[in-house]
Amino acid sequence: MPSSFRKAKTGIKRPLVLLEILIGLGLLSILLAFLFASMTRSAQFEAKIDQARSVLLERQKLQTRLQDLFLGLKDSSLYTARLGKEKKESLIAIFDRGVDPDPAFSGEVLSRLHLDEAQNLCLTVWPLENDGTHLPWKTEILLSGVEDFQFHFLGKKTKDGIRPVNAQLAWYDAWPEDRGGAPAIARLLIRQKGTPLSYAFFPANPEPLPTYLEGG
């Protein structure tokens, strides 16, 4: 006769036997073991994702900032130069930062993209207009852990560059100040902690630009 039927009939509560408690505890511990194991795995996975996300975010920030620089480039203001004891050439340009809460850093600013001593790829900006008494600047770290970086510029062929494209265009690894204009494409190659990264930027005002006039 089933126990529930016995209980209902007699009206006396039957205590749980030790075996039932042991089975219950066993099942619960198996369940919790699975649960906590999956939670630990999930936490470890989350930590890895967070790390990857922050790396990705830094790279996205670099791309966004440099896109802004190349789009707002002032006519013929871009050039590369090695300043002081720098190991790598810096990229120097005047670009439009738009409206900033700080009026000194609004509108057109002078900028320099360079590698600092702590291997950070930095963008430093100076206001173009100042009263001559002080020269404030703002430096933003765009990418950390950069071992090396190199720009390649696509421009009108004036001399043999690092790689000719056709009779009119060639790639150059430097854009000297006396060249003027802006490249059609700027390719940035970076080695960050052994990982190669590459970006391409398109200035909105490339000059000189090969053009083919209608009927020309």
Partner 1 sequence: MNALGFVFCVLTVLSIAAVASHEKLVGASRLRKTFVGHAAANRKVVCEAASEYYASLKRQPSEAKEAAEEEAAEQKGEGKVPVAPKLNPECSRLNLFPLVDHGIQEEPVLYEAAAKLLRVFYGDALFEKKSRAEYKFLDAFLKAAKQHIKNNQMPALEQISFHNEKWQALYYRMLKGTKRNDLLEGIGYPALMDYIRISQEHSKLCLYHAHPNLLAVYFTPKGAEKLFAQMHGQNAPQITREDVERICRDAHLLLDPLLLELFDFQKGSHPKRQKSVVLADDPDSAVSLRKTISMPRASGG
Q: Which residues bind partner 1 (CB under 8 A)?
A: 32, 35, 39, 42, 46, 50, 53, 57, 60, 63-64, 67, 71-75, 96, 98-101, 103-104, 106-108, 127, 129, 131, 168, 181-182, 202, 204-216
Cβ proximity to partner 1, 5 vs 212, nearer residue:
212
Query: Measured between alpha carbons, how far is 67 from 56 in angstroms, rounded to an integer?
Result: 16
Closer to partner 1 by Cβ: residue 1 or 99: 99
End-to-end CA distance of the chain: 105
Least distance CB 148 / partner 1 (angstroms): 25
> Residue written as tokens 């790598």?
88
| Minimum gap (Å) between residue 85 Cβ and partner 1 | 33
Single out the residue of 103, 95, 113, 92 nearest to residue 136, CA to CA.
Answer: 103
Q: Using the minimum distance from each CB to partner 1, give the nearer residue, 115 or 125.
A: 125
CB-nearer residue toward partner 1: 117 or 214? 214
